[in-house]
Amino acid sequence: MVKIGRQKTDAAASIRLTTDAENVTVPTTVDFAAGEALKEVKIAFDIAVGTTASYTITIPEEDSYVYGSPKVTVNIKRDYTWLNIGTGYYASQLFGEGWDQPVLKAKEANIYKLEDCITKGYPIMFTLSDDNQELIGWDPQPTGYDKTDYGMLYFAAAGMERKGNVLSFPMQGLVVLDSGKWGVLYQGFTETLEMPEGF
Convert the pLDDT of each residue in 53-69 to its tens digit.
888 888 887 777 655 67
Per-residue pLDDT of 58-106, as tens digits, reads 888 777 765 567 888 888 888 889 999 999 999 999 999 999 999 999 9
pLDDT computed for residue 110 by the predictor:
96
SS3 60: coil
Span 154-196, pLDDT tens digits: 999 999 999 999 999 999 999 999 999 999 999 999 999 999 9
pLDDT of 7 over the 60 cut: yes
Phi/psi for 184 (5° steps) reads: -90, 115
**SS3 at position 86:** strand
DSSP reduced 3-state for 62: helix
Q: Which of 75-84, 94-103, 117-126, 144-153 has the lowest mean pLDDT?
A: 75-84
Q: Using 50, 70 and 90 to split pLDDT, how confident is the model at 114?
A: very high
Alpha carbon dihedral 148, 154, 158, 159, in 10-degree steps, equals 130
Burial label, 170 (beta-carbon count in 10 A; 0-12, 13-18, 19+): middle
Q: What percent of the chain has pLDDT over 70?
A: 98
**pLDDT of 21:** 81
